[in-house]
Amino acid sequence: MPKARVYVTLKKSVFDPQGRTIHEALRSMGYEGVADVRQGKFFEVDLESMPAERARETVDEIARRVLANPVIESYRVEVEP
Amino acid sequence: MPKARVYVTLKKSVFDPQGRTIHEALRSMGYEGVADVRQGKFFEVDLESMPAERARETVDEIARRVLANPVIESYRVEVEP
């Protein structure tokens, strides 16, 4: 069964308050070597048996329609057969 | 500057209500080919210039102490120089 992973990140131009909060927490804990933190989401999507090309098309459509908000987020799809 | 990514997922034995909800939504939208969905988080951590080995140790410690809850989550660290 093909497996896909979808990585969703806020676009660079969008402020990421969760990442900022984690960054500040890390600095207050003494991790001076951290320059920036950004948080994203990812999804593991298990598919029924289908050709790799169809799997990629399906998951790409799901990412665009459901998992990511294309106004503020970008996404990347990986499919393994 | 080294960049690291930390992927945090719920352990297999832990119920994932967000993933379940997405899976049900997808089925109701007609995506019959989806067998399962699980949601995770990921973090992009930019580091100040440091040796690759120290970068990995630092981010591994951050993942364990701050980003993941080891009771219910597992994590994976990738470092690129």
pLDDT at B1: 85
Quick check: A78 and B7 in contact, CB under 8 A? no
What CATH number labels B3-80? 3.30.1280.10
Q: Which of B65, B30, B1, B5 is closest to A5 using CA atoms?
A: B5
Mean of pLDDT over chain A: 95
Q: How far apart are CA B54 and CA A35, in angstroms?
A: 15
- Considering the entire predicted model, what is its pTM? 0.89
B22–A29: do the CB atoms touch at under 8 Å?
Answer: no
pLDDT at A80: 87
Instruction: Kindly list the domain boundaries of chain A, sorted by start residue.
Output: 3-80
Quick check: B23 and B32 in contact, CB under 8 A? no
B37–A46: do the CB atoms touch at under 8 Å?
Answer: yes
The pLDDT tens digits of the residues spanning A2-29 come to 899 999 999 999 999 999 999 999 999 9
Under DSSP, the state recorded for A30 is T
pLDDT over 90 (residue B66): yes
Quick one: pLDDT band at residue A81, thresholds 50, 70, 90?
A: confident
User: Which residue is closest to A39 within chain B, CA to CA?
Assistant: B43
The pLDDT tens digits of the residues spanning B18-57 come to 999 999 999 999 999 999 999 999 999 999 999 989 999 9
Identity of the residue in A38, A44, A48 whose CB atom sits nearest the CB atom of B44: A38
Q: Which of A43, A25, A79 is closest to B22 using CA atoms?
A: A43
Q: Give the burial class of B12: count Cβ atoms within 10 A of its Cβ; 0-12 exposed, 13-18 middle, 19 or more buried.
A: exposed
Q: How many CB pairs (< 8 A) connect A and B?
A: 97
Quick one: pLDDT band at residue A39, thresholds 50, 70, 90?
A: very high
Cα→Cα distances B67→A1, A37, A52, B34, B39, Å: 31, 11, 33, 29, 15
Mean of pLDDT over chain B: 95
CA of B62, closest CA in chain A: separation in Å?
Answer: 8
Q: Complex ipTM, two decimals?
A: 0.87
Identity of the residue in A35, A55, A67 whose CB atom sits nearest the CB atom of B1: A35
Identity of the residue in B35, B37, B44 whose CB atom sits nearest the CB atom of A48: B35
Backbone angles phi, psi at A47, to 5 degrees: -115, 150
Contacts of B34 in chain A (CB under 8 A): 45-48, 58, 62
B40–A42: do the CB atoms touch at under 8 Å?
Answer: yes
